[in-house]
Structure 1
Amino acid sequence: MVKKSILCLVVILMVGLLAAGCADEAEVTRMEDLPEEIEEEMVGEEEVEGEPETEEDEPLHDNSRTNPADLNETFVVEKDDLIVGKVTYEVELIQTVSGQEAWEIVKEGNPLNEEPEEGKEYVLAKFRVKVLETEEDEPFNVNHAQFEAVSEGGVTYDDFISVSGVEPDLRGDLYEGAEKNGYTYFIVDKDDNPVAALNRGRSGEIWFDLRAGD
């Protein structure tokens, strides 16, 4: 009886793990690589006359840690999210601020925010996120924990930092059709050329150049 109970428990755990793995899937496409009529539909323009594209959308292959996206490169992510189900959203990096200017913004947001150590600096990255479609009428959560900074040498910046009061803040729950621009933040070495990853090591991974605005 005990052996049967243990066997049932193992089977349940394996099924749960398989379900979680299947749910965490995504396809990332650069906006400029989409068929023209699909891109125009997403930005709300009228459909251009002519024959539709017959080739299937190719997944994004050239975006990587060593080839990160620049400013104003829009990506469309089709993700099977474990919590909200299927969701399609746009994301692009629209601004970076670093050095003393970034620290002034952080300090103005809240004087209690921590000043960087010697040789370190804040980098504020402003992203635009728009939810195009959701499977259910559930909000898609955007938050700072989805972004990680990695040094030019390939080392992750693992120090925990908490910043409050910086506006506009990227954090939020977005329903279908909602769009938000906001900052997320990092502390990096002043002499580094770091990159930031959205969903690093998970489905929907995209890399961005944190020195793109310099």
Structure 2
Amino acid sequence: MSKKRPNMPPTATALLAAGLLLFCGGFATAALLLPSTAKVQVDGRDIPMEAYNIDGCNYYKLRDIAAAVDFGLWFDERENTVHIERDKRYDASYSGPDSGQPLYGRTHPAPVGVEQFVRVENTLEHYTALIRLDEVLRGERALQLLSEANSYNGAPPEGKEYVLAKFTASVESSEGDRAVSFRHDKFVLFSEGGVEYKLDSILAPDPKFRGDVYAGSGALTGYAAFLVDCSDPAPRAAFGRSYDGTGGIWFDLSGS
């Protein structure tokens, strides 16, 4: 039975090619990635570890190595740099030296006024951007603006209410100088309890959070409209998550 080669994003392919050059002493234009059966031992103790064999070379996740050997490791998204700190113990939650600023994420989304850096890498998009939540309106205040913007925006269903969030986005870099398209449906909406909301078709007032932006060309500011449960005290929106739900930047849409 033939083995299928798994699909890998361009970035991963490039990293693997570089690894072949560094560790195998040669460059391969095509490589077959297979699960490795090689065991890993640390001080004579077997350590279960995911690995892949590529053209006879075994590849392991650096984070798994850090956990096994117990050294500090963190990734600087803005600088796109991996930091290894031999004088620190491994901590999966550690994200770098304390800058005096709170660390935002899924369980601690950023409030109004905080600008966040995001790196988006997927099949179609490769860019870095800065996004800030400028304003959050909820309930009657949001309904009033939506009704004035378009008569099709009627009263929300029973038990639901509107949330209007104004965002400002700018692009720091983009592969091939491509324009980055921002839209409200690039966000994924969650309840405080971590349950994903379905995005509804709501006609946001002007200015809308919709448009193409090039790196260094200024910023896009506009409203995105959402529908949440009235009983949800702290809905949150994620932008730029990975396919498995990790990463991205998170915003607190508690509103007023």
- TM-score, scaled relative to structure 1: 0.69
CA contact (8 A) 1:102 1:124 kept: yes
CA distance in 1, matches of 2:10, 2:163: 34
Given the superposition, is the C-alpha separation of residues 22 and 166 from structure 1 closer, same or farther in structure 2, using an over 3 Å criterion? farther
1:115 is the counterpart of 2:155: yes
Name the SS for the 1:101 alignment partner.
helix
Which structure: larger Rg?
Answer: 2
1:141-171 Cα shifts (integer Å, max 9, x gaps) = 111221122112222112x411225211101
The residue type paired with residue 82 of structure 1 is T
Bigger relative contact order, structure 1 or 2 (CA pairs below 8 A, ≥6 apart): 1
Given the superposition, is the C-alpha separation of residues 164 and 119 from structure 1 closer, same or farther in structure 2, using an over 3 Å criterion? same
Instruction: Report the Cα offset of residue 209 of structure 1.
Output: 0.8
Given the superposition, is the C-alpha separation of residues 28 and 166 from structure 1 closer, same or farther in structure 2, using an over 3 Å criterion? farther
CA contact (8 A) 1:170 1:181 kept: yes
Counterpart of 1:62 (choices 80, 88, 103) is 103
Alignment-derived partner of residue 130 in structure 2 = 90
Name the SS for the 2:136 alignment partner.
strand
Matched pairs, number: 172
Name the SS for the 1:188 alignment partner.
strand
Any gaps of 5 or more consecutive residues in structure 2? 14-74, 79-94
Alignment-derived partner of residue 8 in structure 2 = 18
CA contact (8 A) 2:241 2:248 kept: yes
CA contact (8 A) 1:79 1:204 kept: no
Instruction: Report the Cα offset of residue 198 of structure 1.
Output: 1.4
CA distance in 2, matches of 1:114, 1:27: 45
The residue type paired with residue 180 of structure 1 is L
Alignment-derived partner of residue 175 in structure 1 = 214
1:114-142 Cα shifts (integer Å, max 9, x gaps) = 42112211001111101122232210111
Instruction: Report the Cα offset of residue 81 of structure 1.
Output: 4.6
The residue type paired with residue 73 of structure 1 is V
* Paired-residue identity, %: 34
CA distance in 2, matches of 1:71, 1:141: 22
CA contact (8 A) 1:122 1:187 kept: yes
Given the superposition, is the C-alpha separation of residues 185 and 21 from structure 1 closer, same or farther in structure 2, using an over 3 Å criterion? farther
1:154 is the counterpart of 2:191: no
CA distance in 2, matches of 1:188, 1:165: 15
CA RMSD of aligned residues (A): 2.9
Alignment-derived partner of residue 209 in structure 1 = 252
Instruction: Report the Cα offset of residue 82 of structure 1.
Output: 3.1
Instruction: Report the Cα offset of residue 58 of structure 1.
Output: 4.2
CA contact (8 A) 1:110 1:164 kept: yes
Given the superposition, is the C-alpha separation of residues 140 and 157 from structure 1 closer, same or farther in structure 2, using an over 3 Å criterion? same
